[in-house]
Structure formats: C-alpha cells, structure tokens
C-alpha cells in the first residue's frame, strides 16, 4: 500500500471510445513523485488520447484519474492546470501573435502559482534562459523555428511551476544537436523535482531517459517496466516488429 501513497498520478481503468473506436481501453498505471515515466506504442496506439484524458481535454467514459491526492476525473483543462499539471502539445500550439516572453508569462500567470504579472515576468525570463530562448524573448512566437516552438511549449509548462509535466513528442522533428539539447532540458526538469510523463518515438532517447516505461497498443496497456524489461517483452516486440513466429504459424496452418 505504500506504493499507492507515493503515487503522484494514479490512472485507474480508464477507457475512451470515439464512435465505435476504442481509443483507450481499460488502462491503469501510476506515476511516482520525481519519476520519469515513458509512454511508447505504435502510431494510433492512443498515447496522445491518454494525455488528453489526463489533462481534461477529453472526459473518460470509464475509470478515474487521481492527481496529487484529488480525483480530477472530468475536470476542465484549466482547472487541472491550476492544480499543477502542465503539458506540451505534439502539434505545437504557440500563441502566435504574442511575444515569446508573453507566451511564457501566460504559463506563469495562470499555472499552479497564480502569479501576478510582474512576478510572472521574472519567472518567465528565468525559464526562457533555461531552455535557451532568452535571446528570442521579444520575437513573436510564430517567428520561431519548429525547434524553438517545441522549446517554447516546454518553457510555458515549466513556468507554471507544475508537479507533473506531460511531454508529447518534444523530440520529434528535431536534429541531433537539438535533440541532445532537449534531453538536457528534460533531465534538468526532473532534477527540480518535477515528475515527467513523456511520449516519444525516439527509442534510444526514451529508453535512456525513463525510469520506467508503459507500452500501449490499440489502446491497451501491453507492458510496463524498466527499459530492459520492455526491450525483451515478446508482446512489445510483436507490436513494433510483428510476430517473429508468424511464418511458422502460417506454415503450420497451411
């Protein structure tokens, strides 16, 4: 039971269907304080949907989500954000016509600390420095490169001073130098005591970063464990590479 008490986020038997499609099917897991939990799975496995269920963009059909000791199932995204849960978007959503600085100030102002403008600006400047966007602070958000926009997403959520941050493919579309930089940022987030839940397709990166990994396939959790455990799980290999014994099975049946 000790385990349960330590959990920052507990997802219990959560399901979501869109029309006839079961996008997330009875998924349960938890994230401990200070942990980096990875989430992997083939395209369309329901990873982003799971994020949307956790932060309130969608309401689950069944199941519950407990964050920091409180049942947040069905809360609106803004309420969840003020409770200390921040996220980035796979398809970046910069506030285009606002400056980079103002984008981050929004995060600081409306996040878990409800900072007034002036204090929020100081926090934002510090965060921009950490993610390496300080020299672009007066540019409009739409002028940033894709790598810049990804960093902006991370900066905005960091400025909110969250307990848990959901990172949705922040490495996708970056070149190797930018990837290395972003991995440094993610490690630094954890060192500040913030838990991280991260979706990533870049296997090497996520295997290195994560303390544990959850694997989804067709909306179902098919495995959970350390990188080493996941790496030799037959179900995971099958989901990614196909069934290694498929040829034999076909021959037998034929």
Partner 1 sequence: MLKRPFFWVIVSITLAFAILPLATGDANLRESLIIVAVAIALASNVNLMIGYTGYVNFGNVIFYGLGGYIGLYLTTVRGWPLIAAAIVAGVVVSVFTLVFGMSILRLRGAYFGLATIGVLEAMRTFVSNFNPWGRASGMYVPMDAYQSLGGPMRAVWISYLLIVAVMGSSLLLSLFIKNSKFGLGLFAIREDEDAAGVLGVNATFYKAVVYSVSAFLPAVAGAIIFFKNGMIDPGGAFDLTLSIEAIVMMLLGGRGTVTGAAIGAALYEQLRGYLLTSESLSNFHLVIAGGLLLIIILFAPEGLVGGFYRLLPRARRVFE
Q: Of these, 96, 226, 235, 245, which contacts partner 1 (CB under 8 A)? A: 96
Q: Kindly state the tokens that stand for 6.
A: 């330590």
Closest among 169, 170, 207, 160 to 37, alpha carbons compared: 207
The nearest distance, CB 18 to partner 1, in angstroms, is: 17
Put the strands of the sheet holding 36-40 in their side by side order: 85-87, 164-168, 195-199, 36-40, 212-217, 220-225
Is residue 221 near partner 1 by the rule CB under 8 A? no
The nearest distance, CB 160 to partner 1, in angstroms, is: 6
Site stretch for partner 1 (CB under 8 A), options 99-107, 128-136, 227-235, 241-249: 99-107
Site string for partner 1, 138-177 (x = CB under 8 A): ------------------xx--x-----------------
Is residue 79 near partner 1 by the rule CB under 8 A? yes
C-beta of residue 49 within 8 angstroms of C-beta of residue 58: yes
Is residue 78 near partner 1 by the rule CB under 8 A? yes
Q: Of these, 17, 76, 208, 235, which contacts partner 1 (CB under 8 A)? A: 76
Site stretch for partner 1 (CB under 8 A), options 18-26, 62-70, 85-93, 171-179: 85-93
Q: Of these, 17, 18, 70, 116, which contacts partner 1 (CB under 8 A)? A: 116
Residues contributing to the site for partner 1 (CB under 8 A): 55, 57, 76-79, 81-82, 86-87, 89, 93-98, 102, 105-107, 109-112, 116-117, 120, 156-157, 160
């Amino acid at each position: 039971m000790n385990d349960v008490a330590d959990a920052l986020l507990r997802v219990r038997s959560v399901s979501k269907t869109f029309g006839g499609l079961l996008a997330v099917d009875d998924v349960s897991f938890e994230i401990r304080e200070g942990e980096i939990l990875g989430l992997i799975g083939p395209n369309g496995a329901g990873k982003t949907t799971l994020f949307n269920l956790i932060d309130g963009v969608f309401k689950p059909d069944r199941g519950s989500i407990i964050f920091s000791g409180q049942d947040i199932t069905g809360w609106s995204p803004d309420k969840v954000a003020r409770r200390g849960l921040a996220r980035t978007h796979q398809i970046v959503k910069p506030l285009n016509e606002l400056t980079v600085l103002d984008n981050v100030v929004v995060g600081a102002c409306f996040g878990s600390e409800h900072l007034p403008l002036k204090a929020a600006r100081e926090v934002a400047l510090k965060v921009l420095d950490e993610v390496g966007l300080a020299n672009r602070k007066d540019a409009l958000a739409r002028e940033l490169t894709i790598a810049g926009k990804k960093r902006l997403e991370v900066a905005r959520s960091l400025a909110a001073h969250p307990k848990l941050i959901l990172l949705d493919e922040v490495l996708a579309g970056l070149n190797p130098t930018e990837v290395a930089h972003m991995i440094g940022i993610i490690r630094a987030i954890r060192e500040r005591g913030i838990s991280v839940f991260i979706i990533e397709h870049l296997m090497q990166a996520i295997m290195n970063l994560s303390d544990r990994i959850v694997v989804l396939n067709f909306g179902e959790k098919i495995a959970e464990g350390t990188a080493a455990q996941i790496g030799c799980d037959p179900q995971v290999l099958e989901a990614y590479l196909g069934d290694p014994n498929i040829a034999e099975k076909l021959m037998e049946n034929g």
